[in-house]
Amino acid sequence: GGEQLPTTCRKDSDGKAEYVGCKSGGAWLRPYGNVPLDSYGVDTCLLKCKGGGYHYGGFECPMSSGNDVHCQCAHTADINLGTGDCVNEKAHCNGKTEVGGYRMGGNSQGSVYNLQSFKYKIIDVKDADLEVNYGQKGGKER
């Protein structure tokens, strides 16, 4: 809608990012590091990727040791490993393969989500970890 979007927000439960498929390689960045292997971590990753202006977000190598996963963002995506479950449990990539309905990727392969379908609702401003800078006050949802 046309309402103003505050800096702190979270996806609506029905506004999940759309699963596109699985990839290896490509021009993916990890500007936000690893996130916890739970729904909060997953939402935070996708929120930060979208807030950073990226078209895609996703996950690679869920690790049980630190109970975290690589958070990845990209402007383009090459779905070169198909649209299956994207699981590849090898070596240290041995954590949960799915969290909150999102696929966590695997060893040297990542899940790809289209962030255009990812929507927000206002949450408590105390939840500062989810803060995203939209570049200007009163910027519209994108």
Q: Encode pLDDT of 26-80 as tens digits.
A: 999 999 999 999 999 999 999 999 999 999 999 999 999 999 999 999 999 999 9
- Which secondary-structure segment (H or E) carries 10? strand 9-10
Task: Decide: 53 and 115 in contact? Cβ < 8 Å.
Answer: no
For residue 125, pLDDT beyond 70: no
What's the whole-number mean pLDDT along residues 16-25?
A: 95
Token look-up 């109970």 returns 67
Burial 60-91 (b: 16+ CB within 10 A, else e): bbbbeeeebbbbbbbeebeeebeeeebbbeee
- CA distance readout (Å), 107 to 13, 29, 62, 92: 29, 16, 8, 8
Q: Which residue has the higher pLDDT, 4 or 42?
A: 42
pLDDT at site 118: 87
- For strand 56-63 and strand 68-74, is the pairing parallel, antiparallel, or unpaired? antiparallel
pLDDT at site 56: 97
Structure tokens at 102: 């999102």
Q: Which residue has the higher pLDDT, 72 or 123?
A: 72
Query: What value does the mean pLDDT of the chain take?
Result: 83
Q: Which of 62, 56, 118 is nearest to 86 (CA)?
A: 62
**pTM score of the predicted model:** 0.76
